[in-house]
């Protein structure tokens, strides 16, 4: 699969709505999101709790589908893709980082990064060298064989980032990646993101920490189910 | 493909290592079930082999009429005798008929004991035995009351007898004229043969001979212990048995305690045993397997619940719903298959070592080993279906929601 053309937006949403059925009726979480994310940008999204940031990220990372509206990923209309094609896009073009790391705690750092290739068909040796390279990039080359349960939170999150970028993604999505980290660890994680962005990886990051806005090239606020640019 | 399988195996090994207790418990339950199943298969297979052997030994077209030994007071006229053979011969044209009289075990020198079977030349037509060397008794031996004997081959080998030797039973010399090969364990096995009991070492002599302690001619009609009949062609064995029964149980024959032994009669006991075992061991095996299966299912259900985040991660990394389902199904199949293999192998090993002391014959072959494996695979698929489907239906967004 060819990477999307560098000129078009990585992700674009047009009048995207998302609602969830609940016992107390339908909840409209996103109410008409319009947005285009350009390649190479570092987008940071803030907003009150429950405003729909995670819901938006799930749509952006193709884990969920909009109730209404159109979503293009790399120029392809998501609603026109079948389950298999969505899975293929997720494994080849997307990287995800989570607040609680989502690591396989009893495996080593390198094995966790290698897990990125679990559903890809790249040859073993290639996967291994790319995983080692990704670990080196987040500054953990010397921790490759260490079981992740023995690592600090900051190190774990960097392993998770290495996993996300071992297969170079068109879009790196992170939902409160520093939410469980102290200031020093947050800084080292954010520096890692900055370096990746400098390398050309497009980043979409959600946070409650206003201090992280200084890394952003673009700041969006999520409010009442809509995303607004803040300059 | 291979790579994916290897990765799946690694994932499964990881999961089992993370939850050894739960996996161990369902493994144990399954292995016990598989043990029961293996015993069942080995025993039923053994009985089936035995049944086939019985029919082969006696011959499908052969039946015997035996009379239980009576006390010394019984008048000779109440015993089976050559007269009855003539009667049967008259009504069953074309049948081979042979009479057999068993003597007590007699000493053949030292502490060696043989069972002397007094019979006639027709016996060899009826029983599936073969002459190993020399010849069997013939009509002339019978007519002339020759003091000749035919020995069972292994007996002769053990005691170093050769055709042409003169052997002594008590003080009486007999000339050995032939060696007989009797089916592998025909004499050792339980008494399918009314004339021979287990462990007998048989020596065949003409039944017209007076017993060795009697040098004069025998009483007019020496009693017989059994009459063997090979059913004539073109007549069903049931008909022949019915006819023989009618002839010999007429009141004027005054024959008591007769039994009519056909392969069918011999098989009946075995069939009853087979049914009993099928029902008892079978229900135990089924119960154990269902128990093992449900334990496995609860293991998988709990696994799915515990691994929701991991499932979400896998989906985020590109796993399809089928990939997720496959992981749980494969884990189940692997667990059941290993349980089956160890259960079946262990059981076969134990049965093999104890086979001599086991009260019933056993069959230990590839079928007995591989059937549990097949059953295990089916069990694994059946009991993992639900949990796997549940896992596959977890939406990735929800799975990652609360990490
Ligand atoms: N699957 C769902 N079913 C029902 N309601 C949902 C579902 N997912 C999200 N919601 C609701 O949508 C709203 C937005 O949730 P979301 O997780 O997107 O908020 P958020 O902005 O990420 O909040 P936080 O900053 O606390 O993480 C919440 O009110 C939540 O209860
Ligand atoms: Mg959130």
Query: So what's the ipTM on this one?
Result: 0.93
Parallel, antiparallel, or unpaired for β A42-46 and A202-206?
parallel
Calculated CA dihedral for residues B9, B10, B11, B14, nearest 10 degrees? 120
Pick A226 or B53 by higher pLDDT: A226
Model pLDDT, residue B191: 46
* Residue bearing the CA closest to ligand 1, atom 27: A49
Site from A53, A58, A118 to mutate, B interface, most B CB atoms within 10 angstroms: A118
Does the Cβ of A54 fall within 6 Å of ligand 1? yes
Ligand closest in space to the Cα of A227:
1
Task: Give the H/E segment covering residue A161.
Answer: helix A153-166
**Position B297 pLDDT exceeds 60:** yes
pLDDT at position A206 is 96
Cβ proximity of A97 and A160 under 8 Å: yes
Query: Which residue(s) pair with B100 in the sheet?
Result: B226
Biggest CA–CA distance in chain B, Å, is: 108
In a mutational test of the A interface, the residue from B6, B317, B401 whose CB has the highest number of chain A CBs within 10 Å is B317
Task: Enumerate the residues of chain B whose CB falls inside 8 A of the CB of residue A84.
Answer: 320
Least reliable range by pLDDT among A113-117, B106-110, B182-186, B367-371: B182-186
Q: What is the mean pLDDT of residues B137-159?
A: 88
Grouping H, G, I as helix, E, B as strand and the rest as coil, residue B8 is helix
CA distance B55 to B45: 16
Mutate to test the pocket of ligand 1, among A54, A175, A224 (most ligand atoms within 8 A of CB): A54
Q: How many CB atoms lie within 10 A of CB B38?
A: 25
Separation of alpha carbons B51 and B38, rounded Å: 20
Per-residue pLDDT tens over the stretch B208-217:
876 655 555 5
User: Is the CB of A50 within 6 Å of ligand 1?
Assistant: yes
Distance CA B44, CA B57 (A): 20
Task: List Cβ<8 Å contacts ≥24 apart for B108-115.
Answer: B108/B159, B108/B167, B108/B168, B108/B169, B108/B203, B109/B168, B112/B159, B113/B201, B114/B155, B114/B169, B114/B201, B114/B202, B114/B203, B115/B196, B115/B197, B115/B200, B115/B201, B115/B202, B115/B203
Instruction: Give the mean pLDDT of A125-132.
Output: 92
Mean pLDDT within A140-145: 94
Q: How many CB atoms lie within 10 A of CB A158?
A: 28
Give the tens place of pLDDT for each residue, A216-229: 999 999 998 999 99
Where on the phi/psi map is residue A4: left (φ > 0), alpha (ψ -120 to 50), or beta?
beta
- A162 Cβ under 8 Å from any chain B Cβ: no
Q: DSSP letter for A12, please.
A: E
Averaged pLDDT for residues A165-173: 94
> How far, in Å, CA of A50 to CA of A34, rounded?
19
CB of A49 closer than 6 angstroms to any ligand 1 atom: yes
Model confidence at B252: pLDDT above 70: yes
Ligand that comes closest to the CA of residue A56: 1
Longest dimension (CA), chain A: 52
Q: Which of A96, A104, A101 is nearest to A57 (CA)?
A: A96
> How are the residues of chain A apportioned to helix, strand and coil, as percentages rounded to the nearest 5?
40, 30, 35
Measure the CA–CA gap between A152 and B242, rounded to whole angstroms: 92
* Mean pLDDT in residue range B370-399: 92
Nearest to B62 by CA among B88, B97, B89, B94: B97
**pLDDT(B380) > 80:** yes
Alpha helices in B59-95 (DSSP H): 82-91
Give the pLDDT score at B117. 86
The chain B residues in contact with chain A (CB within 8 A) are: 3, 7, 14, 17-18, 309-310, 312-321, 323, 395-397, 400-401, 403
Q: For residue B72, what pLDDT is reported?
A: 56
Confidence of residue B403 (pLDDT cuts 50, 70, 90): low
A61 and B3: CB-CB below 8 Å?
no
Distance CA B183, CA B57 (A): 7
Pick from A113-117, B64-68, B196-200: least confident: B196-200
Closest CA to B231 of B221, B240, B222, B218: B240
Give the CB-side neighbour count of residue A185, counting CA atoms within 13 A. 15
Of A3-7, A18-22, B35-39, B88-92, which range is least confident?
A3-7
**Average pLDDT over every residue of A109-122:** 92
Instruction: Spell out where B110-188 has E strands.
Output: 113-119, 130-134, 148-152, 166-169, 172-181
Residue closest by Cα to atom 29 of ligand 1: A50
* CB environment A12-49: b (16+ within 10 A), e (fewer): bbeebebbeeeeeeeebbbeebebebbbebbbbbbbee
pLDDT at B73: 56
Is residue B30 within 8 A of residue B384, CB to CB? The reply is no
State the average pLDDT over residues B352-370.
83
- Radius of gyration (C-alpha) of chain B in whole angstroms: 32
Cα angle B11, A104, B384; round to 5: 40
Flag whether pLDDT at B111 surpasses 80.
Answer: no
Task: Please indicate whether, in this complex, the C-beta atoms of A90 and B403 are within 8 angstroms of each other.
Answer: no
Per-residue pLDDT at B329 exceeds 80: yes
Percent of chain B residues topping a pLDDT of 90: 24
Of A61, A84, A106, the CB nearest to B320: A84
For chain A, give the percent of residues with pLDDT over 90. Answer: 87
Share of chain B above pLDDT 70, in %: 88
């Amino acid at each position: 699969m060819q990477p999307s053309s560098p000129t078009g937006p990585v992700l674009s949403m047009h009048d995207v709505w998302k609602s969830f059925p609940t016992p107390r009726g339908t909840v409209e979480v996103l109410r008409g999101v319009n947005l285009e994310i350009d390649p190479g940008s570092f987008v940071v999204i803030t907003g009150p709790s429950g405003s729909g940031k995670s819901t938006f990220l799930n749509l952006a990372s193709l884990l969920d589908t909009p109730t209404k509206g159109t979503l293009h990923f790399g120029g392809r209309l998501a609603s026109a893709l079948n389950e298999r094609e969505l899975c293929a896009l997720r494994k080849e073009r997307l990287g995800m980082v989570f607040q609680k790391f989502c690591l396989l705690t009893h495996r080593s750092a390198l094995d966790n990064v290698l897990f990125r290739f679990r559903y890809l068909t790249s040859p073993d040796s290639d996967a291994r060298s790319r995983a080692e390279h990704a670990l080196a990039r987040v500054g953990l080359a010397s921790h490759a064989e260490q079981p992740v349960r023995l690592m600090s939170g900051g190190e774990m999150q960097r392993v998770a980032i290495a996993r996300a970028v071992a297969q170079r993604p068109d879009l790196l999505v992170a939902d409160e990646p520093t939410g469980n980290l102290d200031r020093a660890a947050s800084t080292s994680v954010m520096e890692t993101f900055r370096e990746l962005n400098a390398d050309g990886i497009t980043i979409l990051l959600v946070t409650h920490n206003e201090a992280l806005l200084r890394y952003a090239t673009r700041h969006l606020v999520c409010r009442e189910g809509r995303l607004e640019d803040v300059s | 493909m291979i790579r994916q399988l290897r990765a799946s195996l690694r994932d499964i090994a990881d999961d089992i290592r993370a939850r050894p207790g739960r996996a161990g418990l369902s493994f144990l339950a399954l292995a016990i079930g598989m043990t029961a199943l293996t015993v069942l298969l080995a025993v039923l297979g053994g009985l089936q082999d035995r049944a086939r052997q019985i029919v082969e030994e006696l011959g499908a077209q052969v039946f015997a009429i035996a009379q239980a030994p009576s006390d010394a007071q019984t008048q000779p006229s109440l015993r089976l005798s050559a007269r009855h053979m003539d009667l049967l011969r008259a009504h069953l044209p074309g049948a081979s008929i042979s009479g057999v009289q068993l003597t007590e075990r007699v000493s053949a020198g030292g502490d060696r004991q043989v069972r002397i079977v007094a019979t006639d030349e027709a016996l060899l037509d009826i029983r599936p035995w073969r002459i190993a060397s020399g010849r069997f008794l013939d009509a002339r031996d019978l007519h002339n009351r020759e003091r000749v004997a035919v020995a069972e081959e292994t007996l002769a080998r053990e005691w170093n007898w050769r055709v042409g030797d003169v052997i002594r039973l008590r003080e009486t010399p007999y000339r050995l004229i032939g060696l007989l090969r009797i089916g592998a364990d025909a004499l050792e096995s339980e008494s399918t043969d009314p004339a021979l009991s287990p462990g007998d070492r048989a020596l065949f002599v003409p039944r017209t001979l007076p017993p060795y302690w009697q040098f004069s001619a025998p009483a007019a009609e020496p009693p017989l212990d059994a009459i063997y009949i090979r059913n004539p062609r073109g007549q069903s064995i049931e008909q022949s048995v019915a006819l023989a029964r009618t002839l010999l149980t007429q009141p004027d024959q005054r024959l008591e305690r007769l039994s009519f032994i056909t392969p069918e009669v011999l098989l009946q006991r075995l069939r009853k045993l087979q049914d009993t075992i099928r029902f008892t061991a079978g229900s135990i095996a089924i119960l154990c397997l269902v128990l093992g299966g449900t334990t496995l299912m609860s293991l998988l259900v709990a696994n799915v619940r515990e691994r929701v985040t991991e499932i979400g991660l896998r989906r985020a990394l590109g796993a399809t719903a089928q990939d997720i389902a496959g992981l749980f199904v494969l884990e189940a199949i692997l667990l059941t298959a290993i349980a089956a293999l160890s259960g079946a192998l262990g059981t076969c090993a134990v049965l093999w070592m104890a086979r001599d002391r086991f009260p019933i014959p056993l069959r230990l072959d590839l079928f007995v080993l591989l059937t549990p494996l097949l059953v295990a695979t089916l069990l694994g698929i059946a009991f993992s279906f639900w949990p796997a489907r549940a896992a596959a239906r977890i939406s990735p967004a929800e799975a990652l929601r609360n990490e």
